[in-house]
Structure 1
Amino acid sequence: MRKLISLNVGEPKEYLFNGKAEKTGIGKKPVVSANLHKLGFDNDQVASTEYHGGVDRAVCLYPYEHYEQWEKEFNIKLPLPAFGENLTTTGMLEKDIYIGDTFEIGTAVIQVTQGRVPCAKISKFNGVDLLSRIMESCYTGYLFRVLEEGVIHDDSTIKLVDRVQEKYSILEANQIMLHDRKNVEAIEEMLQIKELATVWKNTLGNMLEKIK
């Protein structure tokens, strides 16, 4: 069953990681409700616009099921939200969600565009080397564009309203992007998914050029 566990927003702040000051938007906090617009939630920003944010990356989701796995593996307690995600959910694992899936949450409608490409701040923020395991496992979470602006509450239901293809789940797409970067057939097929984020289309196109 799909369920919203935590709704999270936050502005970028400066943190001290290993004695070095870095600005990041990873430190979000749970809220009761938030207005969602084409570029994201009110009171929610990213620090590095090159890698985060924008129309195709307006909302970030991370599956709550992974928290238990990482907590056991690293022997730590992870706070909500530990991965800088806006939506912490159950019932929405990467293997079960496909590029182009459209969901209604509250009065907003959002569409899956790409897997998240995590950065080192996930490890720095949580004090353990989560990044390497997230990349290895492809348990990255994923991103959405906003098709209809609206309001999401922390108890809003999540309803799948459209599924355009069932070949490339987030997990499959992550596998291609992170590990199987010379799979010409898969790359060509993914490029045909018009709902795929532009930045991933560009990356896949570059990968294809290098292969050929």
Structure 2
Amino acid sequence: MLSVNVGERRSIAAKSGTSGIDKRPAEGPVQVRAPGPKGVGGSGLVGDHISDTANHGGDDQAVYAYAREDLDAWERDLGRPLANGTFGENLTTAGVDVNGAVIGERWVVGDVVLQVSCPRIPCVTFAVWVGEQKWLPRFTRARVPGAYLRVLTPGTLTAGAEVRVADVPAHGVTVATAFAAFTTEPELLPLLQGVPELPREDSEAVARRLAKH
């Protein structure tokens, strides 16, 4: 893990008016907690701000991870440097297949245990922050969304700690597959019916969409 990133409350030209998407590497250890349900709980990282708690944060989106390898690819595509934390990620990883992670698999990082819960679905605040034309469809087409994680065991995260993957569920549905199902390939939605580790609201959305067809 290259860095642990937290964001202060800053003004942004989006609906919420403020955001913590401007995340920057912490200089020392960061305490990690289970924040509570969405709408009440915020980030899983102490000191990390979330403005729109109705749509972000909470137990199922407690920590957001993005791979440095994917940031490097975006640097080449956009023609500008992207520092760790630029995409609003709490963890900038290296050598971890974030998008190939199976929903429900566990990551052991020092004394912290995290569980992959769902892909990041890009929002307007993200588009405003990145400042690129047609950013949402561009990001969606790339299919490298990064992963949200739950906090199963609180503790302390420190840059440089190894991410050890453990307890991979047998269903095999990855972050990338779930992202495609929710966005550009709805024909994949039936695969998500057998994934108990998805957030409840995502499972309910899958059931509603399948019921319409």
Q: What is the TM-score normalised by the length of structure 2?
A: 0.88
| Structural mapping, 1:66-105, within 5 Å | 66-105=70-109
Q: Does 1:38 find its partner at 2:31? A: no
SS of 1:96's partner is coil
CA displacement 1:35-85 (0-9 Å, x = unmatched):
100010101121111221011110000111111221111211112211111
Counterpart of 1:170? 175
**In structure 2, how many angstroms separate the alpha carbons of the residues matched to 1:90 and 1:33?**
18
Question: Aligned match of 2:7 in 10, 17, 23?
Answer: 10
Q: Identity, % of aligned pairs?
A: 27
**In structure 2, how many angstroms separate the alpha carbons of the residues matched to 1:15 and 1:93?**
31
SS of 1:41's partner is coil
Counterpart of 2:204? 202
Counterpart of 2:40? none
SS of 1:8's partner is strand
Aligned residues of 1:94 and 1:169 also touching (Cα < 8 A): no
**In structure 2, how many angstroms separate the alpha carbons of the residues matched to 1:36 and 1:21?**
25
**In structure 2, how many angstroms separate the alpha carbons of the residues matched to 1:10 and 1:80?**
12
Query: Structure 1: any 5+ residue segments left out of the alignment?
Result: none
Q: Does 1:160 find its partner at 2:156? A: no
Q: Which runs of 4+ in 1 moved over 6 A?
A: none
Report the Cα offset of residue 95 of structure 1. 4.2
Are the structure 2 counterparts of residues 205 and 10 from structure 1 closer, same or farther at C-alpha, using a change threshold of 3 Å? same
Report the Cα offset of residue 87 of structure 1. 0.3
SS of 1:45's partner is coil
Question: Aligned match of 1:50 in 48, 54, 58?
Answer: 54
Aligned residues of 1:59 and 1:86 also touching (Cα < 8 A): yes
**In structure 2, how many angstroms separate the alpha carbons of the residues matched to 1:58 and 1:71?**
26
**In structure 2, how many angstroms separate the alpha carbons of the residues matched to 1:110 and 1:7?**
14
Report the Cα offset of residue 166 of structure 1. 5.0
AA at the equivalent of 2:20? G
Q: What is the TM-score normalised by the length of structure 1?
A: 0.88
- The structure with the greater share of residues assigned to strand is 1
Counterpart of 2:41? none
Aligned residues of 1:56 and 1:144 also touching (Cα < 8 A): yes
Q: Tell which deviates more after alignment, 132-141 or 142-151.
A: 132-141
SS of 2:151's partner is strand
**In structure 2, how many angstroms separate the alpha carbons of the residues matched to 1:203 and 1:34?**
33
Aligned residues of 2:65 and 2:98 also touching (Cα < 8 A): no
AA at the equivalent of 2:71? Y
Aligned residues of 2:29 and 2:157 also touching (Cα < 8 A): yes
Are the structure 2 counterparts of residues 12 and 203 from structure 1 closer, same or farther at C-alpha, using a change threshold of 3 Å? farther
**In structure 2, how many angstroms separate the alpha carbons of the residues matched to 1:109 and 1:144?**
10
Are the structure 2 counterparts of residues 148 and 30 from structure 1 closer, same or farther at C-alpha, using a change threshold of 3 Å? same
SS of 1:174's partner is helix
